[in-house]
Amino acid sequence: VVFKCRVRDESVPGPNPFSWKDVKSSDLFKGKRAVVFALPGAFTPTCSSTHLPGYEKAYEEIKSLDIDDVYCLSVNDAFVMRQWGLHLGLAEEKSSSASPLNPGNFQQVKVLPDGACLFTRGMGMSCTWDSERGFGERSWRYSVVINDMKIEKLFVEAGKVIQNSGPDPFEVSDATTMVK
């Protein structure tokens, strides 16, 4: 899958010094061990109050478990994901390009825009919440350890994807479960 990302580019003048960058799944996961946690949407209540902040708080502990990086994925575009991270107070990485998503993403948890829902569909985690929340197609809430492009551990809320779910379960995709 190719993620359409924005990276800081000082050659671009003005208040929005970013360029488009295609980042492939293999750039993030090949030869690496990574955690991805996916959620229904940036700026939504549980995602903003608990899910992403929980992983940001547990970042160092997760990294100590032989994890190369931690990614927060949502079916939102790169602009929305960046603004959400800034709104939540994530520290921006302004210079290092050690991660394919930087500079311009964040120092700890990196936000991963799946605007076209390609990764989410590939994981079998696409759901619609159109009648419940007006969301349309989004990601079901889950977390996964990807070890060299293969799923090592997978935690899916409610044990399965539920279309137009009334509740928004949040019991097994949290950072606490991930570090157990």
In sequence order, which residues have a C-beta less than 8 Å from that of residue 45 and are 6 or more positions away? none
Q: Are 39 and 159 in contact (CB under 8 A)?
A: no
HEC letters along 7-38: EECCCCCCCCCEEEEEEEHHHHHCCCEEEEEE
Cα first-last separation, the chain: 29
> DSSP of 61-123, one letter per residue?
HHHTTT--EEEEEESS-HHHHHHHHHHTTPPB--S--SSTT-SSSBSSSEEEE-TT-HHHHHT
List active site positions: 47
